[in-house]
Amino acid sequence: MGGLLVRIGAGLAIMAVTALALWLYARSWAPARDQYPVQGVTISADNGVVEWGTLAAQGADFAYIRAARGAAGRDPAFAANWRAARTAGLRYGAMLDYSLCRLASDQATRFVTTVPRDNAALPPVIRLAFDPGCTARPGRDLLLSELNTLVNLIESHAGKTVLLNVTEDFDKLYDVGSGINRTLWLDGNFFPPDYATRPWVMWTASDMRHIDGVDGPVRWDVVAP
């Protein structure tokens, strides 16, 4: 009996060590630079105060900064992050987290009154993900109509074509890629995603990465080579 308990204890210890090793690996992992030379990060107020110089030194080539959440209003850290990213020498762009519970016109107004016109900025991004606080699920035709309104208003303000950052469950319900002809940005930890009807140009390769200069995990993004 004692030998069995020793073996069980040893097995549990090995499992614990293995789990810790995998967790530490996931925290630091990023795609190889020789495969994906251009890599960056998504930042919001959720990340706290960002040390932008340190972030740039960690290999971030660009930063997408959340400007607003459709159902919750402006990101309180947007203006500070926008200025600091530019000062640190990173390429920078603005992101809107779209809400199914708000009119597209209202969300566009929030975006254009938050994000300054800036010729140096990257193309704006609309993130399409289900918000746990919003249970609305409009039909596909209505969703695509609202999105087209939002896209047109944001593009008119920015003077650039938007990117659509679509999560897998959102795309499964609405098949956005075949309904709106815009560049796609997809999500998928560690493995390149293949869930959309068109190829992706950007990929969130990890939402678990921890890097110096930022509190908590960040969404680490890469550009297709």
Q: Which domains does the chain have, with CATH numbers?
A: 31-223 (3.20.20.80)
Residue by residue, pLDDT tens for the chain (225 residues) are: 666 555 554 444 444 444 434 444 567 799 999 999 999 999 999 999 999 999 999 889 999 999 999 867 899 999 999 999 999 999 999 999 999 999 999 999 999 999 999 999 999 999 999 998 899 999 999 999 999 999 999 999 999 999 999 999 999 999 999 999 999 999 999 999 999 999 999 999 999 999 989 988 999 999 999
Residue with tokens 């920078």: 92
- Rg over CA atoms, the chain: 20
> Residue 44 gets which letter from DSSP?
-
Cα 8 from Cα 115, distance rounded (Å): 58
Q: How many C-alpha atoms does 73 have within 13 Å on its Cβ side?
A: 2
Cα 195 from Cα 217, distance rounded (Å): 24
Q: How many C-alpha atoms does 43 have within 13 Å on its Cβ side?
A: 32
